[in-house]
Amino acid sequence: MDKDWIGQIVRSKKGRDKGKFYVVVSILDSFHVSLVDGKKFDFKRQKRKNKKHLCIITKAEDELLPRITHQDDACLQNIFERLALEAKEV
């Protein structure tokens, strides 16, 4: 069940970053996940967030999933563009 979180595009429901979009890159424990947004938070500096403060929007594209799990820095621009597009749709 927890592995389903990896690659999800989520929106923050609580905190200072309320309304911002992120991609889940790893599960830290049963309550927390690591997030990236492609700009401020990348694979070297990930954001830690409680799962209950996140709203799942959709799953990232299939071609991005292996690059996210391997934390490939080359996909950060694609992540940023996808999150910007998602923000415009919502």
Rg (CA), the chain: 12
Give the pLDDT score at 49. Answer: 96
Domain boundaries, the chain: 2-89
Give the pLDDT score at 2. Answer: 63
* Cα–Cα dist 31/33, whole Å: 7
Give the pLDDT score at 63. Answer: 80
* Cα–Cα dist 71/14, whole Å: 26
pLDDT band at 54 (very low <50, low <70, confident <90, very high): very high
Kindly state the average pLDDT of the residues 56-65. 84
Give the pLDDT score at 62. Answer: 82
Q: What is the pTM of this model?
A: 0.88
CATH, range 2-89: 2.30.30.30
Closest CA to 82 of 71, 63, 69: 63
Q: What is the pLDDT of residues 2-45, one digit of tens each?
A: 668 888 999 999 999 999 999 999 999 999 999 998 889 988 99
Q: What is the pLDDT of residues 43-53, one digit of tens each?
A: 899 999 999 99
